[in-house]
Amino acid sequence: MVFEFEGGLPGYRVSYVDPPLFEDGSGRPVKVDGSAVLEVRMERAASARISGDRVVLTYRGPSRLRRPDMPAVVEVVEVGDFEAVLRWAIGSRGLVPFKVTTFTGPSRLVVDLEHPR
């Protein structure tokens, strides 16, 4: 999973979490398919920016991505985009090892899950 940002890389934390997950702001439960859930939390990040008196979306994609063709990932779900905290959950096929890598030019956060054994 690749997250790309305008400007610099935000603070981030990637870890397995126990369901249920709740949507930031509303508190509504968010269902994530998979036998384990890896949460990607990015701080000082958002899927929109304010430009003058208007809001400009910087991410226009879906908030839920089903990935049955990937060996480790079942689905990816946006859990929150509230008060400069952006959260996504990756439903995986078990507690598989993962690696986090960052890049610049453009700023990217990459979460790579190993193939389950």
Q: How confident is the model at residue 68 (pLDDT cuts 50, 70, 90)?
A: low
Mean pLDDT of 51-76: 79
DSSP summary character for residue 104: T
Residue 70 vs residue 92, higher pLDDT: 92
Arithmetic mean of pLDDT, 36-48: 88
Q: Model confidence over 14-30: pLDDT tens digits?
A: 999 999 999 988 999 99
pLDDT, averaged across the chain: 88
Q: What is the mean pLDDT of residues 88-117?
A: 93
Bridge-based pairing state of the strands 73-82 and 2-5 = unpaired
pLDDT, greater one: 8 or 102: 102
Contacts of 60 (CB under 8 A, 6+ apart): none
E strand or H helix at 54, and its extent?
Answer: strand 54-57
User: Looking at residue 56, what is its pLDDT?
Assistant: 66
